[in-house]
């Protein structure tokens, strides 16, 4: 998978959380992922298709981290992963993908975005729709970890 295609998603996640939630996450080491089990508690998954490629991206948050993000963005701290938390994860997924779309557009890539799907619960599954390799990258914070998964053909 092309690093020039992956980096805009990673940069966009860092930018969105820095700007919207006043949080700095530390990127970890990317790895290939096998299987569909999510590493965190709530995930946003969005499909993308364009003339050059098709694929999907997901962002998974550990519970304490998404609660901290919600506290910083909306001024309220949830006690469970409820509809407000899943709505926020969907919106964050949209913002990250939109930011990456803008960065990729500057490099000549164009794609349309689907509506994100949000899944929650311990051991939930993330089903990417393309046949490419899945790259997973952790982003750590004192309140927990977020994981970005990118899968493109």
Structural domains in the chain, sorted by start: 3-152 (3.40.1550.10)
In this predicted structure, what is the pLDDT of residue 2? 64
pLDDT tens for 38-87 read 999 999 999 888 877 788 999 999 999 999 999 999 999 999 999 999 99
In this predicted structure, what is the pLDDT of residue 128? 87
pLDDT tens for 95-152 read 999 999 898 888 887 888 889 999 999 899 998 877 788 999 999 999 999 999 999 8
Residue 12: pLDDT band by 50, 70, 90 thresholds?
very high
Whole-structure pTM value? 0.93
- b/e map of 69-91 (b: 16 or more CB within 10 Å)? bbeebeeeeeeebeeebbebbbb
Residue 1: pLDDT band by 50, 70, 90 thresholds?
low
Q: Is 129 exposed, middle or buried (0-12, 13-18, 19+ CB in 10 A)?
A: middle
Say yes or no to pLDDT of 34 above 60.
yes
């Amino acid at each position: 998978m092309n690093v020039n295609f992956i980096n805009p998603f990673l940069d966009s996640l860092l930018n969105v959380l820095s700007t919207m939630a006043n949080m700095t996450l530390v990127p970890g080491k990317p790895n290939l992922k096998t299987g569909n089990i999510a590493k965190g508690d709530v995930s946003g998954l969005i499909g993308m298709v364009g003339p050059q490629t098709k694929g999907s991206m997901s962002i998974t948050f550990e519970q304490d981290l998404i609660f901290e993000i919600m506290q910083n963005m909306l001024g309220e701290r949830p006690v469970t992963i409820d509809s407000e938390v899943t709505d926020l994860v969907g919106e964050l997924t949209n913002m990250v993908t939109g930011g990456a779309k803008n960065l990729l557009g500057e490099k000549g890539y164009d794609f349309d975005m689907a509506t994100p799907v949000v899944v929650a619960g311990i051991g939930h599954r993330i089903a990417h729709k393309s046949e490419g390799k899945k790259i997973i990258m952790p982003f750590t914070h004192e309140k927990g970890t977020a994981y970005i998964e990118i899968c493109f053909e």
